[in-house]
Structure 1
Amino acid sequence: MTTPRDTPAPSRRVRANGDGTVYQRKDSRWEAAGYVLAPGNTRKRVRVYGTTRKEALSKLTEKIAASNRGLPIPSAQGSVAAYLTYWLDTVAVYQLRENTHTRYTAVARLYLIPGLGKKKLAKLTTKDVRTWLNHLRTTCQCCIRGLDTSRDEPLCCAVGKCCSKRLSPLTLAYVHSVLKSALEHALREEEIPRNVARNVRTGTPRPRRFEPLTADEARQFLAAARGHRLHALFELALHTGLRKGELLGLRWEDLDLAGGTASIRRTLQRITSSGLTALPTKTKRSERRIALPTPCLRSLEQHRDRQRKEREAAGAAWEDSSYVFTRPDGAPIEGSTLTRHFNILLRQAGLRRIRFHDLRHSTATLLLEQGVELVVIKELLGHAHIGVTATVYAHVRLRLQRDAINLLGHAFRNSAEITGTPDDGDEPPLVGAAVR
């Protein structure tokens, strides 16, 4: 006869050391707990919950698997708004230029914090970011930000007539990039396990359209600038493609008129805290040395003589800033002042209105049409990567490709179809596109 004592007890499944524990709570939910990797190479006990034992165990197994791969558990307990404020005030302020930091702060205040600020940083998902971006893309900003209600006389949203003022694709991509930068720093600080904003695709926005000067228009502009006090600056801009800040930041010590070169070391810009200030170039590759053409050397020598006379006329009132292009009293020139002179010259030359930066585009476009290699233009303009040059001027390259294909078709034609003197084979083949 078998007694209860002799009956074998049901076998219990024993979890291995490190697998954590799973048990049912009094409220009928299941709880799983285990140790995982935490920031600072420490261990931390975490707890997860589920309606079934399998669900709780699955959540714990996922966290332990991530810990075994070396991914620490997120430590961020605050909101997205709190982290953005911390990042802008203690991190980005030392890594970005002041004007860039100001734009980042405005983006956070206008778009990031109102849309995502209340969410927990550690629980922010790719779906949250995608939903928020789609909302920004389709929502009238005048309505959502109450721009119309602040007017003395409401015109659209406040009176029920939506103006449909939506963000442009470029602005939307910029807002997305600011969020990616903030979350990337949170990832480096091991606050979050991954940058969820990188998993969202906003599409490549179309680049801003620019209207560079043609060769004939460039000649008209230079003819109108001849005799202008800043003629040397405009000629240098059109021959070298220097940025506005790089031109205004040139000092005489940067020029080697005897050797025919210029060293681009700084850019002159107005910032909120200290006004007109000399700053480092846009990127490290923007700090470069370029060759100066003969017309620019001649006009720079004439400009130096004119500046010497202005110094003598100003006397004690002369401000020795050592810049190449200055006001009549020697003080640096504001970017807005240069733009005003530029617009006046455009009207005098009878040309369409373009931006000053389009002179830079004109230089690159005309060089490409003359058959200059893309890498040479990249070094002249100071682009960080040749891909930037290729992308910005893709339309020019497409036109040159069409010309080259037409030339190849000309080569494929029968000799009887070609009018003119016959080819005796002594002349070299035509390898370049016709110059416009």
Structure 2
Amino acid sequence: MASLYKSSDGRWTVQWSAGRDRHGKTVRDSRTFKSEDLAFHFKVEQERRGTGTGKESLISRADTWVDHRLGIGKIGEKTAVGYRERIAAWGRLLGDRPYKKLTSADIESAYGRLAAGDTPTGRIPSARTLNHYKSVIRAFFNAMEKASEIDRNPTRALESPNGLDKRTRRAPSRTEMQSILDEAEASRALFGQIGFILRLSSHLGLRRGEIAALRWSDLDLVAMTASITRAATQPTGREVYFKTPKSTAGIRNISMLEPTVQLLHQQRKRVAAWRLKAGRSWADNDLVFCDPFGQVLDLEEMSRSAGRIRDAAQVSREVSPLHGTRHYNLTQLHKAGVDSVTIKTRAGHADIRSTVGYITVDDEEDRKAAEAARGALL
């Protein structure tokens, strides 16, 4: 509860307790107003919100903020994990200083260190990853400003350090994709399934989590359609679990062709043989891709296996190990003349700008563009 009292100078002060610091001492914060009405309304709002003390570190206050957003359904569990990871990196660089006292210079300095590779993994992050770091801390301080916990957002003028590579990952070419698939077919990774996984993703453009969550009941091999209604996720340090897509656009039906159906028939034979051999040890999860006992595959191992195959195929690291097959599928649809709205729907994107970001314009496409302008040359 907050307390309200009149100061000797005639102003009104609201004081409140918000738990204890890391040493176990009670921490109090206060705010002074010119009138009793203003102070009273602030007291009521403060008690309703249960905001931070202002003396907490960035990590402490931001962690409470993430819990609140998760609790009211503004973000999902996977997003919350990502927020916490980014906030932990910021907190390590900014230390235990109260979040209210952090300045633009403090945050710009920390951001420069992140860009130089002072990250939890020690790797220099990509421009996209750096943007995630910036987005999270900016969202936190926006919320603090909106709640009147700070007067001004110190990240408002935060800019990316100079010299960052702005290029995003690209789709593999047809030749590179073939090299990856050839290498995958000879691999025994993921119990011999990595070749099937990469080929299916290149056929349908599925995300990693959608592949791992795909069930036989989601497939109609006669009508040649796949129903995508869920995805697997694996927060850092935790087991794999299933969830609904982040947006309704992720729930969709995808048409398949005969080569894809034949691929799935082969996979069904493999799973049936495993089920027969496992007997009572079989976990009846109805999964298209699983381990020999029917359990869901480890998502991180899927990515690591795909990365080893890409490298063995001597394909550039500009191509994402597993997600590159999704890039490939959407790029090939674009090259075939499929309209952007249809590609967006098949990809399960809520925003067409996401779809555009997946499409790689290569030399072949550029040459076609030049030829298309032939009639306009003077």
Q: TM-score, normalised by structure 2?
A: 0.70
CA 1:138–1:232: 2 relative to 1, 3 Å: closer
Distance (Å, rounded) in 1 between the aligned partners of 2:111 and 2:364: 33
1:335-359 C-alpha deviation (Å, 9 max, x unpaired)? 2333455356557767566511111
Corresponding letter in the other structure for 1:388: S
CA 1:115–1:371: 2 relative to 1, 3 Å: same
Displacement after TM superposition at 1:176 (Å): 2.3
Distance (Å, rounded) in 2 between the aligned partners of 1:407 and 1:379: 27
CA 1:166–1:296: 2 relative to 1, 3 Å: closer
1:83-137 C-alpha deviation (Å, 9 max, x unpaired)? 324324444476544454344334334324753853563x76xxx22x2233124
Would you say the 8 A contact 2:306–2:322 is kept in 1? yes
1:30-77 C-alpha deviation (Å, 9 max, x unpaired)? xx984497488x379xxxxxxxxxxxxxxxxxxxxxxxxxxxxxx976
Corresponding letter in the other structure for 1:78: G
Distance (Å, rounded) in 2 between the aligned partners of 1:347 and 1:400: 26
Distance (Å, rounded) in 1 between the aligned partners of 2:226 and 2:117: 51
Distance (Å, rounded) in 1 between the aligned partners of 2:277 and 2:157: 63
1:279 to 238, 243, 246: 243
Distance (Å, rounded) in 1 between the aligned partners of 2:118 and 2:181: 48
Displacement after TM superposition at 1:238 (Å): 0.4
CA 1:301–1:116: 2 relative to 1, 3 Å: same
Residue matched to 1:136 = 110
Question: Where do 1:385-404 residues align within 5 Å?
Answer: 385-393=351-359, 396=361, 400=365, 403-404=368-369
Would you say the 8 A contact 1:246–1:281 is kept in 2? no
Could you say which structure has the greater relative contact order, defined with CA pairs below 8 angstroms and 6 or more residues apart? 2
Which sits farther off after the overlay, 307-316 or 88-97? 88-97
Unaligned stretches of 5+ residues in structure 1? 1-20, 23-31, 45-74, 149-164, 415-436
Unaligned stretches of 5+ residues in structure 2? 1-9, 12-31, 44-50
Residue matched to 2:140 = 182
Displacement after TM superposition at 1:266 (Å): 1.6
Question: Where do 1:130-169 residues align within 5 Å?
Answer: 131-139=105-113, 169=127
Would you say the 8 A contact 2:247–2:350 is kept in 1? yes
1:127-160 C-alpha deviation (Å, 9 max, x unpaired)? x22x223312445899999999xxxxxxxxxxxx
| CA radius of gyration, larger in | 1
Would you say the 8 A contact 2:108–2:158 is kept in 1? no
Question: Where do 1:217-236 residues align within 5 Å?
Answer: 217-223=176-182, 225=184, 229-230=192-193, 231-236=195-200
Corresponding letter in the other structure for 1:110: A
1:379 partnered with 2:365: no
Residue matched to 1:366 = 332
Residue matched to 1:296 = 260
Would you say the 8 A contact 1:116–1:132 is kept in 2? no
Which sits farther off after the overlay, 229-238 or 358-367? 229-238
Residue matched to 2:234 = 270
Distance (Å, rounded) in 2 between the aligned partners of 1:79 and 1:350: 53
Would you say the 8 A contact 1:84–1:182 is kept in 2? yes
Question: Where do 1:21-420 residues align within 5 Å?
Answer: 34-35=34-35, 38=38, 42=41, 78-79=54-55, 81=57, 83-92=61-70, 95=73, 96-112=75-91, 114-115=93-94, 118-119=97-98, 121=100, 128-129=103-104, 131-139=105-113, 169-192=127-150, 195-202=153-160, 206-207=165-166, 209-223=168-182, 225=184, 229-230=192-193, 231-271=195-235, 275-339=239-303, 341-342=305-306, 346=310, 354=319, 355-393=321-359, 396=361, 400=365, 403-409=368-374, 411-412=375-376
CA 1:317–1:136: 2 relative to 1, 3 Å: same
Corresponding letter in the other structure for 1:217: E
1:187-227 C-alpha deviation (Å, 9 max, x unpaired)? 45454566453454448965554243222333444455558
Distance (Å, rounded) in 1 between the aligned partners of 2:282 and 2:330: 37
CA 1:193–1:287: 2 relative to 1, 3 Å: farther
Corresponding letter in the other structure for 1:86: T
Distance (Å, rounded) in 2 between the aligned partners of 1:245 and 1:225: 19
Distance (Å, rounded) in 1 between the aligned partners of 2:84 and 2:202: 35
Residue matched to 1:69 = none
Distance (Å, rounded) in 2 between the aligned partners of 1:254 and 1:34: 64
CA 1:146–1:282: 2 relative to 1, 3 Å: closer
Displacement after TM superposition at 1:401 (Å): 5.7
Q: TM-score, normalised by structure 1?
A: 0.62
CA 1:172–1:147: 2 relative to 1, 3 Å: closer
CA 1:37–1:177: 2 relative to 1, 3 Å: farther
1:355-411 C-alpha deviation (Å, 9 max, x unpaired)? 111111111222222222222222222222111222443x518974653243222x2
CA 1:217–1:109: 2 relative to 1, 3 Å: closer
Which sits farther off after the overlay, 325-334 or 396-405? 396-405
